[in-house]
Structure 1
Amino acid sequence: MDKVEQPTSEMKCDGPVDGVTKGQASPRTDLKSVPILEETIWKAVREGKSASLDCGGMSDLQEPGSASGEEVEGSETSDAIGLAVSPGSKGSWGANLQNGDGTPQESPQQNSDTSVTDPLQAPSLSLSDQLRLGRDDPSNLGLNVECRICGDKASGFHYGVHACEGCKGFFRRTIRMKLEYERCERACKVLKKSRNKCQYCRFQKCLALGMSHDAIRYGRMPEAEKKKLVAGLLAGENLKSSSGADLKTLAKHVNTAYLKNLNMTKKKARSILTGKTSCTAPFVIHDMDSLWQAENGLVWNQLNGAPPNKEIGVHVFYRCQCTTVETVRELTEFAKNIPGFVDLFLNDQVTLLKYGVHESIFAMLPSLMNKDGLLVANGKGFVTREFLRSLRKPFSEIMEPKFEFAVKFNALELDDSDLALFVAAIILCGDRPGLMNVKQVEQIQDGVLQALDQHLQVHHPDSSHLFPKLLQKMADLRQLVTENAQLVQMIKKTESETSLHPLLQEIYKDMY
């Protein structure tokens, strides 16, 4: 099969890839580093030290010069996004293919131009280290913290809320002198320039926002507590009663972060799947021979080193894992750009990513799929669904549930701006086990959900029930991740030739 049939316009990307050919070399050069999280790294973070580990695996998007790794189980999701592994590294993440009888399959001649320097020697930041960036500089804390009453610059935490000197003094005088103001029914706006015009409305706003004499703090507030209070303000201060303009701004910010940090957008993927792009058509991987060609430079770069022989199913399983690792890195960077996320406790940031990354990946995966297969390696390859089904069990069972979910999810016809807010809402679920500040997380998610609801009303006016449908999809994704985790655990126990990437082990540890 040298070419897959071209879909018609009515197929809406649910047909085969247009003009996908099987013999065009397209060596990769856009490599990026993979983060790692291990117990030793956590220890180093707590002690204020730097730490790095060998990844033992590398995504096709990695950059020569870095590789460390953390782990999570259930990387099957990754299969779909782009398979990439580092052969010859510690942990045997790369692998030569074997025939069905276990004998090694002869490899085609490797293109010398596709060989790259082993990047596994250089350290990279752990997941927790990446999340800590920008948090430890005191100059970044407390800046632009507004008075909750009037919007002026807050001077501190007074009577239970962040307030400016003016509002602090006003509230103190009112309480101490037991002042009573003439009742006002106009619900006046209390702003910096107008805060003295209506004392009744100003005092009512102080009470409504939680100012209380009982909340007086004696002595100087510890710096650690101050940081947490500032974080709480920044996390969701403007999300309680966000206006339409505020929600639109939030949606735009989240969408920009999504497009910046996620390498394969739905718009890009669909243009490849429908042949509406000037880029080289993806190389079709439909059997062992075509997989070998892909491994030797047509889709993925072949790293230096002699990998051990592995059965084809095991090899594909490894490819899946490393793509998941790279996508976790992208999602981490995306999360850091969601307003309020980096102001959460570091523990809560890690917890949200631990429980949210696979649900997020499975939500993005349908963008790369049609009924016949899925794009891999940043669109340079297309793995057929039949080929994945042809793998022996249990490897053949990894991707099929994702295809079934994709059919229904793609029917919602979401675009990248919709997905950006949906993925952000998934990451910010306040019911994740072990969260230290649930209320703060829920505040941020509430704002994102409000923005998503408004965004859908504007951009999908004919789909009145789209928002509740997406809320149901969040529940479906949890079930999909649970089943995925169970399958990966089974593979881990029954397949002696397999091992899980450290990042995937860490993510799935104690999850279910």
Structure 2
Amino acid sequence: MQENVRHPSHHRGPNSLRFSLPALAVSEDPTRSRSSTVVVTNNNFVYSCFCVCVTDQEKVQQAADSNSPKKPFVPCKVCGDNASGYHYGVTSCEGCKGFFRRSIQKQIDYRCLRDGKCMVIRLNRNRCQYCRFKKCLAVGMSRDSVRYGRVPKRSKSLEDHSVSSTDSASSSQDQLALENKQLAIYDVILSISQAHHSHCAITEDKIKNIVRQPATLMSKIHIPPGQVQFSNEELEVQRLLMWQQLASLVTPAINSVVEFSKRVPNFSDLSQDDQLILIKLGFFEIWLTRMARMIDREENMVVFEDGSCISREELAVVYSPDFVTSMFEVCNGFNMLNLNDTEIGLFTAIVLATADRQGLSDTSAVERIQDSLVEALTLQVSRNHSTEENLFAAVLMKLPELRTLGSQHNDLLRWYRLQWHRGNLPPLFAEIYDIPKNQAADSASQS
């Protein structure tokens, strides 16, 4: 049987996925002789439920056994299969119950290859764990129920409460509002996790496939016979050439940061100018956060995403010894926090949504984006590091450290900006740091 199901057409993009809590009820039609799928939409989320297939043989059996009580078909709110009971706050089947429990207990980070929009029904519920877990949260499965035990049966319906009807209605509304807020936070976490895994070359899985290879930023310069050392002019030329080589190694990360930024919830709602300001002024801090895992303090080198190993001494020539020392120290401190990929993704999104970047026109909108990201990171850290009480505060303390490095890096770029006519930088690198393009050098290299 094939299902012809359409996703809702009113999504604005990969970072604007919304979903609501309850699935609409689907009543069983015992007169049908064929299996069928009923698709019910509730706001922006699609739920699929399966009707009971009643054959002629089953009708005869039911007529013969008229004294046996009829057990109504109750669909699982996650996948539409036959529900076995009330699990973790939701009517669900045994399969989805076990899947949700394992996801919470093992703290698994899932990924989706289809932009987080997979249909979750009984026939394909195992294909995309990311979307299945998101569906579990969307219909109201409670993480705390897994942690603290079953939800008491008396809490399943308002009739079982001993409080007055007014208090029950108020309590229900408060609970629904809380669940909606929690679901919005879960949506942010899942969106950022997917964006980070898809648009970052430095994740736990991808690092395993990076093959290290010795590399250098140095370029060969002809030295006249008998000359022992570089002249000041030759030293400047060498430094510029090393910076250009470093720019080539950094450039692939620029596009990935841009694509990641587009998928941060509500970022695309900002004006184009504000988006560019946030990306340009935050790029170095985001890049350094991602590269922290690639800082090798024992070997005194940085490993780039293509495997090139650049020594600390060469970086000190391009920048300065003090600046590179600060880079290594901040990255080492960040690594000691032992954050996973999702948490690093949330942190870099917070760095991106910094409301006091110079030139922003709508700082309030940026603050709202950052507030939602901070809430998401708070939840994620408390969930994964429940025994480390001060970890979240330690994570936030890295923000001013990165900001200081970003400011120092901008100061170091001033000399290079003055030398723009003497070099030939990758266009994307020149754009991210607002460095004029050397048309003459570009034409010479193409010829």
**What whole-Å deviation, never above 9, does each CA across 1:379-427 have from its counterpart, x for those lacking one?**
42212224444x4x75666644322221222221222121011011111
2:213–2:309 contact (8 Å) kept in structure 1: yes
Aligned to 1:351: 277
1:258–1:334 contact (8 Å) kept in structure 2: yes
Aligned to 1:188: 170
Tell me whether 1:382 sits opposite 2:306 in the alignment: no
Using the TM superposition, give the Cα deviation of residue 287 of structure 1 relative to its aligned residue in structure 2, in angstroms: 8.7
Using the TM superposition, give the Cα deviation of residue 486 of structure 1 relative to its aligned residue in structure 2, in angstroms: 0.5
- Provide the secondary structure at the position in 1 that maps to 2:358: coil
- Provide the secondary structure at the position in 2 that maps to 1:324: helix
2:217–2:245 contact (8 Å) kept in structure 1: no
- Residue of 315, 327, 334 corresponding to 1:409: 334
Aligned to 1:250: 188
Tell me whether 1:283 sits opposite 2:209 in the alignment: no
> Given the superposition, is the C-alpha separation of residues 414 and 145 from structure 1 closer, same or farther in structure 2, using an over 3 Å criterion?
closer
Using the TM superposition, give the Cα deviation of residue 478 of structure 1 relative to its aligned residue in structure 2, in angstroms: 1.0
- Residue of 237, 253, 262 corresponding to 2:200: 262
Using the TM superposition, give the Cα deviation of residue 460 of structure 1 relative to its aligned residue in structure 2, in angstroms: 1.7
- Provide the secondary structure at the position in 2 that maps to 1:188: helix
How do 1:81-120 and structure 2 match up within 5 A?
none
**Structure with greater Cα Rg:** 2
Tell me whether 1:437 sits opposite 2:372 in the alignment: no
CA separation in 2, counterparts of 1:190 and 1:437?
36
Aligned to 2:382: 457
CA separation in 2, counterparts of 1:241 and 1:501?
46
CA separation in 1, counterparts of 2:286 and 2:202?
14
- Provide the secondary structure at the position in 2 that maps to 1:253: helix
CA separation in 1, counterparts of 2:419 and 2:213?
32
Code of the aligned partner of 2:181: S
Code of the aligned partner of 1:465: N
Using the TM superposition, give the Cα deviation of residue 504 of structure 1 relative to its aligned residue in structure 2, in angstroms: 4.9
CA separation in 2, counterparts of 1:286 and 1:323?
11
Aligned to 2:393: 468
User: What is the count of residue pairs matched by the alignment?
Assistant: 271
Using the TM superposition, give the Cα deviation of residue 453 of structure 1 relative to its aligned residue in structure 2, in angstroms: 0.7
CA separation in 2, counterparts of 1:451 and 1:436?
25
> Given the superposition, is the C-alpha separation of residues 355 and 386 from structure 1 closer, same or farther in structure 2, using an over 3 Å criterion?
closer
CA separation in 2, counterparts of 1:141 and 1:379?
34
Give aligned-pair identity as a percent: 22
> Given the superposition, is the C-alpha separation of residues 381 and 321 from structure 1 closer, same or farther in structure 2, using an over 3 Å criterion?
closer
CA RMSD of aligned residues (A): 4.2
Using the TM superposition, give the Cα deviation of residue 144 of structure 1 relative to its aligned residue in structure 2, in angstroms: 9.1
1:267–1:416 contact (8 Å) kept in structure 2: no
Aligned to 2:255: 329
Using the TM superposition, give the Cα deviation of residue 438 of structure 1 relative to its aligned residue in structure 2, in angstroms: 2.8
Aligned to 2:408: 483
1:321–1:501 contact (8 Å) kept in structure 2: yes
Code of the aligned partner of 2:284: H
Q: Which has the higher contact order (CA 8 A, sep 6+)?
A: 1
- Provide the secondary structure at the position in 1 that maps to 2:190: helix
> Given the superposition, is the C-alpha separation of residues 479 and 240 from structure 1 closer, same or farther in structure 2, using an over 3 Å criterion?
farther
The structure richer in helix per residue is 2
Tell me whether 1:341 sits opposite 2:255 in the alignment: no
CA separation in 1, counterparts of 2:373 and 2:356?
16
